[in-house]
Structure 1
Amino acid sequence: MLLFSLPDCLHSHRTRLVIKEKEISAELHEIDLNDISEEIKFISPYDDFPTLVDRDLILQNSRVIIEYLDERFPHPPLLPVDPVARAKFRLALYRIEHTWYPEFNKAYKNG
């Protein structure tokens, strides 16, 4: 299993956190957007990172990757078992993505 990610991308970071939390054996490759090899362009033609390669499967988008990893490696589960608690957790993630991520990105870009 290979994960291609950007060193300063929040979506890449949370994907790496899931891999670490679930103790998944994966090769991590940090991508420099200024120097992308032809092989990486083939794997991720739109420079969409993180990108996960697992055998013949290639996935982009941190949500898709994280859901796949949670289903493929179910222990420990990332989400609560109770549907109400799971919905509240997903709502909290949504709020973080739409409130905190933009602010972090603005602060990061402005130095």
Structure 2
Amino acid sequence: MPDQLPVRSVRSGAVGYLEVPTAEETHIAALLEERRGYVARGLDDRVAQVDAELQRLVPEPLQHEEPPAGDGEPPTGDEEPPASETEPAAVDAEPAAVDDTAVPPRATTRRTRRR
């Protein structure tokens, strides 16, 4: 359970509570993020090591978020693109306006030291 810190609103003076994750929760979140990276790269031995550490920290099983469906291989290019990619994109009737009044940044000058 996250720690709750009292905070006071500058505008209204009302007191609210800000939830701050505990060190253990932060550690578990970091391990889950590390696990997602290993799953995405197909490093099953490292996934097993992270799972063992998670099991040590949290005895009850956690729900792991798996990456989108795929075999972990990079795309080869012979897959069919989604329907949204096969349709031509809408083109704006007018090009975006360019700001001609913008002043370029001032060139840096060499400063001399005063004595």
The TM-score range, normalised by the shorter chain, is: under 0.3
Greater relative contact order (Cα < 8 A, sep 6+) = 1
TM-score by length of 2: 0.21
TM-score if structure 1 supplies the norm length? 0.21
